[in-house]
Amino acid sequence: MKRTPKTIIRKLIIVGSLALTAVVLSLLKLIPYVSEYVFSRGISRAYAYVVSAITKHLPFSLYEVLLTALILTAVVLILKWVFLISKRRDFYFFKSVLNTLIVVLTLFCVYTATAGMAYYREPLPIPQYSGEVLDGAEFEQMMLYYLEDFRYVSDMVKRDENGLVKQPFDFNGLNQKLKEEYNRLGTFDGYLSSFTPPVKNIFFSTFMSYQRISGIAVAYTGEANINRHIPANNKVLTMAHELAHIKGVMNENEANMLSYYLTITSSDIYIRYAGYMRTMPRLMSAAYYTVDKETYNRLYDLYPQEAMEELNAEYSFWAKYDSVIDKVSSFFNDIYLKFSGDPRGVESYRDIGQVDKQVDPESGEIEYAIIEYSPLQKLYIQLYCDAL
């Protein structure tokens, strides 16, 4: 190609056009109807369906292959730029920068049109309690209801010599199970996509462990991917969570909530146990602020000891990978989530309620009172109310 201003001008026009498209898309996602019905339920869903229908047949994660290629390309590109600058070949350097901008802006536009819009959707329509705060007696009865079932599934599941659950299905079997569970939930009147692709294992999962990443969903390739080294029960929740993203739920807390709803309402004891093991501590936390100390101790004694030990084993698994890599990964994930439209960033993974703290002026004792339940606690309470 000749070194003419026309070459640069053409590329500048392309860059400008893509930048304008990016701005228009960023403004369109602020319009509720457009983000919900034109993109999330329309264009974005159609793209995810077509791409997932292709990539699901690949025995590997296309995302992982492309990411590896991207990293290698970035290294080569940096070396190329250093070379061009050192040789003062300004024209070729500027042209390379423009080519890179074209690729970056194209990827940004595709991301915004596929995944970015879903951050501005209407709230996920799953059961949420909206009544008054329960009194101690009411909360105790609810806890007894759930603890009875939790103890039942904990006793029924098979365990290995270390007390960890031995699930009766392999990875493909779990994929099929979760597909059936999502079919059971349905689409919530079209809120979720009806298409459920298989989740894929990441080959370089050890690096994900050091980043404290259990899984990742990628809109570009329509794939839900997980860290193949994570514990079995963690795998159930993570796969359900990443599938929620592919089905149109991008908000992290809502993806968590959908995975919790799917698991704790399942008829499969292994799926339900995985849900209880991860979520029941949040219900116990609400009990601590609601019932008296004697009642709480009685409820605590009913909590399945095996499940508590297994959850501690999960914490121990992740503790092995504590490193600066995790902090760097969390920092960039926080930026990504806030840039995508979630102002809470990585805090959006947390299930947060509102608890009032007061000090008794006479005794000096600290008293707590729940002002608002967390989303997970609201889910549990509403399911209990529906079961009565």
Q: For the segment 285-294, what is each residue's pLDDT rounded down to a tens digit?
A: 999 999 999 9
Q: What is the pLDDT of residues 64-80, one digit of tens each?
A: 999 999 999 999 999 99
- Whether the pLDDT of residue 105 is over 80: the answer is yes
Q: Is residue 335 part of a domain?
A: yes
Indicate whether 168 and 75 sit together in one domain: no
Indicate whether 16 and 69 sit together in one domain: yes
Average pLDDT rounded to a whole number, residues 245-271: 97
Give the residue among 238, 277, 259 at the shortest CA–CA distance from 154: 277
Residue whose entry in the numeric block shows the structure tokens 């009172």: 369
CA 225 vs. chain centroid, Å, equals 11
Q: Are 208 and 227 within 8 A, CB to CB?
A: yes
Single-letter amino acid code for the residue at 258: L
The parent domain of residue 309 ranges over 136-387
Provide the token pair at 220.
């570009």
Q: Is residue 128 part of a domain?
A: no
Q: Is residue 110 part of a domain?
A: yes
Residue that is last in its domain, among 91, 120, 149? 120
CA angle 311, 314, 319 (to 5 degrees): 130
Indicate whether 95 and 222 sit together in one domain: no
pLDDT above 90 coverage of the chain, percent: 85
Provide the token pair at 296.
């709480």
Q: Are 154 and 274 within 8 A, CB to CB?
A: no
Indicate whether 203 and 256 sit together in one domain: yes
Indicate whether 143 and 116 sit together in one domain: no
Q: Is residue 143 part of a domain?
A: yes
pLDDT of residue 1: 45
Sheet holding 223-227, edge to edge: 200-202, 223-227, 215-218
The DSSP annotation for 265-302 comes to T-SSHHHHHHHHHHHHHHHHHHHHHHS-HHHHHHHHHH
Domain count, the chain: 2
Indicate whether 106 and 140 sit together in one domain: no
Residue that is last in its domain, among 71, 96, 120? 120
Q: What is the pLDDT of residues 167-182, one digit of tens each?
A: 999 999 999 999 999 9
pLDDT of residue 3: 58
Average pLDDT rounded to a whole number, residues 357-381: 86
Average of per-residue pLDDT values in the chain: 94
Q: Which stretch of 193-207, 270-284, 366-380 has the lowest confidence by average pLDDT?
A: 366-380
